[in-house]
Structure 1
Amino acid sequence: MTKYSMDFVFIPEEDKVVMTSNYLDQPVEKLFEVRRQLRPTINELSLLCPTCYQPLLLAGRTDQTFYFRHVKDSEDCPIKTTSHLTKEEIEAMKYNGQKEGRRHKENKQFIASILKRDEEFKDVHIEKHSGKKILLALRNNGVDQTYRLVTLKQVKK
């Protein structure tokens, strides 16, 4: 079995992570087509790094083997060989970034809709998170609300 530098890729359209081998263990002709589809100018296919959620490109070597890599000059990621992230930052990206997937956002909407129907809760709103700064920050469950003038954040402290 071939060992790849990146074991998994994230498919945003399907909201799932798949093994890199699902793409790389294909005939060379198919790999060239995937490579073309991933180009930013073509943008027919989107595959993201499952750790930092940045776009990936399919790169080739002279021996016609292929691998996924981050776009040139992209933000730091622990998978990149040039990463300058601390262990804590890597863990925050790895686990907290996953919380903002499609299902997580739908659950936040669902919780907020329930709280809005209860007259004991006031000023219910959903926090919107994106970007590296948020991924690296410690944060709560993503739904703020006021219950008898005390916020959920204050209760947790």
Structure 2
Amino acid sequence: MLKVGDKLPEFEGTNQDGEIISSSNLMGKKLIIFFYPQASTPTCTVEACNLSDNYSKLTKEGFQLLGISGDGIKKQKNFHSKFAFPYDLIADEKHDVIEKFGVWQEKKTFGKTYMGIVRTTFIFDENGICSRVIEKVTSKTAAEQILEG
């Protein structure tokens, strides 16, 4: 998994509107990238809505936001539209970006082992250097976790 001090990996991803988002275009501002397992699931919705509800606080602190999951563009579009998120969601079906950040890992639920996205938030400075990794994201207070850092 990417850690504090690491540089923002180079990537291109497709957002909910089919537009290409490139990591090189995200430099110059502080950046929050949050990875979530699946669009429109209860816990992921709580996290994404908490970040949306606190968007003005986050941008006031100089942050830009980007959410990423392994969902397809259509599912991301529906999720984005339903909740009117003020930030982009990347559809990473091939797990290219997910793998670069190291959040595709073995998980266990109810004794069952499987591969999946580990809910993680990465914070980068204006130069694209990782300044913080939040591995134990609390969905209901995701923005507060970021701001208290």
Shared fold per TM-score greater than 0.5: no
- Highest RCO, 1 vs 2 (Cα 8 Å, sep ≥ 6): 2
- What is the TM-score with the length of structure 2 in the denominator? 0.26
